[in-house]
Amino acid sequence: MPKIKISKQKCTEIFERLAKTWPHAKCELVHNTHFQLLLAVMLSAQTTDKSVNKALEPLFIKKPHFSSKDLIKMGEDKFYEAIRQIGLAPTKAKNALAMAKILEEKHGGMVPNDRDLLEELPGVGRKTANVVLNVLFQHPLIAVDTHVERVAKRLGLASSEASRLEVEEALMKAVPEKYLVDVHHWLIFHGRYLCIARKPRCLDCPIQDICPKRLLTSSSR
């Protein structure tokens, strides 16, 4: 288990400031229903939310309640055509259809509020399950994607060698309990819009005085 390098007091300060910086942070994947969110999160693996939205928005505009039944009816080939611009589209289309069939056969078309049942679905791993459980069912969970991992490591909340699971475990220890439902979105927004991979905007960052990487990085200004 990686050690947290900063004090509990500083951890609290970090998350208090992130709460103030990103009060409106939320999931940026387009969706109208639980099924659509699950589908969008599955498709977002190793690609951007923007490209997933671009592929799914036309489907959801045409059919605002696009469901597992609609996806099965559409078929793998047509769905693949709709998402072909997304990375790993053939595998994702296959998994999406298999996921929709299982939802229909075992769960009455509903997204289960249960980690084990979610992770039984094709193409659903721990990160996807965490997003779904957090966004749809408000579980106090943190899904570690590339943004969350980068921010946590730069802030010294997890060691640079930590695996994604270790980063998740370190964050679950570091984040005050009252923030656990929302912090996932704050970290994603922070990584996406300020603590950017190539050029972190340290001069604009509200936690620059606490961040150990502040002096090692340059701002975009």
Q: Which residues bind ligand SF4 (CB under 6 A)?
A: 154-155, 194-195, 200-202, 205, 207-208, 211, 213-214, 217
Q: How far apart are CA 99 and CA 91, in angstroms?
A: 12
114 catalytic per annotation: no
Q: Which listed residue (10, 49, 92, 127) is catalytic?
A: 127
145 catalytic per annotation: yes
Q: How far is the CB of 161 from ligand SF4 (least distance, A)?
A: 18
Q: How far is the CB of 128 from ligand SF4 (least distance, A)?
A: 26
- Report residue 103 as tokens: 């939802």
Using the minimum distance from each CB to ligand SF4, give the nearer residue, 52 or 157.
Answer: 157
Using the minimum distance from each CB to ligand SF4, give the nearer residue, 46 or 220.
Answer: 220
Q: How far is the CB of 151 from ligand SF4 (least distance, A)?
A: 6
Q: How far is the CB of 203 from ligand SF4 (least distance, A)?
A: 8
Using the minimum distance from each CB to ligand SF4, give the nearer residue, 57 or 209.
Answer: 209
- What length is written for the chain? 221
Using the minimum distance from each CB to ligand SF4, give the nearer residue, 40 or 155.
Answer: 155
The rounded radius of gyration (Å) of the Cα atoms in the chain is 18
Q: Which listed residue (10, 145, 153, 182) is catalytic?
A: 145
- Supply the residues annotated as catalytic: 127, 145
